[in-house]
Amino acid sequence: MAYRAPPTELTKHVSRLLKGKLLKKPPTWFAAVQAVPPGPSVIRAQNTEVNIAGQTNAEKQFGQANRLPAHSINRHKQKNLKTRAPKPRPIVYPEDRLRRQFYKDHPFELQRPKLLVETTDGINRTNFSQLLLDGMHPAQVDGETVIKYQLHLMVSQNMTERQAYAKATSEFYEIRAQEEEEKRLAQSKIDSVFNALAAKKQTERTLQREEKAIAEALKSMTQ
C-alpha cells in the first residue's frame, strides 16, 4: 500500500521525492500548495487546553471531573508508541450531576405524568429565581424545575451543591404538601356533592314507595 502523507506534510514528501529523482517534475498543484499550505486536521488535532472562558464556576467545577490530567497523558505517550484513536470530547452539563442525585433520592418523581403535546398555553420557563413563581400551580413544579432552581442557587448565590440541594428540596416538599392538600379539599368537595345527590335519590325512592302504598290502599278501599 502506498504511503499517504498527511496534508500538512504533502509538500515536504514531494520535495524529498524530487530530490531523490523519483519524480521527474513537480506536480501541477505543487506551487499552489506551497503558496497556500493546508491547515491541520480538525478531527485529529485535539487541543488539550479547552477554552473555558465563557463557562460559569459551576460548569468549570463539573467539567474538571471528566478531564484527564496532563501527567496521565504524558505517561501514556511515553509508554505506548501507538497513539489513541481520536474521540470526541464528552459533552458535560452541570445539570447532569444534579439530576442523577435528585432522581436517586426521589425515584417516584419519574412516574409523574408528563404532557408532551405543545400548545399555545405551554410555559417556556426561563426564570428560576423562585421555585414556584406567581401565577403557577403547584402541579407545574417537577423534578426538572428543582434541578434548574438548585443550579440557579449555586451560580447566582454562590451556594455549595449541598446547601443548594437542601434549600431546593425543602421548598419542593412544601409545594408538594400544598398540592396534596388542594387535592384532598377538592376530593372532599366532590364526595360531599355526590353524597348529597345519593341522599336525594334515596329520598325520592322513599316518597315513591309511600305514594305507591297510598294508591294501593285507596284502591283496595274503593273495591
Burial class of residue 130 in the structure, from the number of CB atoms within 10 Å of its CB (0-12 exposed, 13-18 middle, 19+ buried): exposed
Question: pLDDT for 11-60, tens place per residue?
Answer: 888 899 999 888 989 999 999 988 888 877 656 555 555 555 556 666 66
Instruction: Please report the pLDDT score of residue 149 as a whole number.
Output: 95
Q: How high is the pLDDT of residue 74?
A: 57
pLDDT of 1 above 60: no
Mean of pLDDT over the chain: 80
Q: How far is the C-alpha of 135 from the C-alpha of 42, rounded, in Å?
A: 49
Does the predicted TM-score (pTM) go above 0.85? no
Count how many Cα atoms sit within 13 Å of the Cα of residue 188 in the half-sphere of its side chain.
6
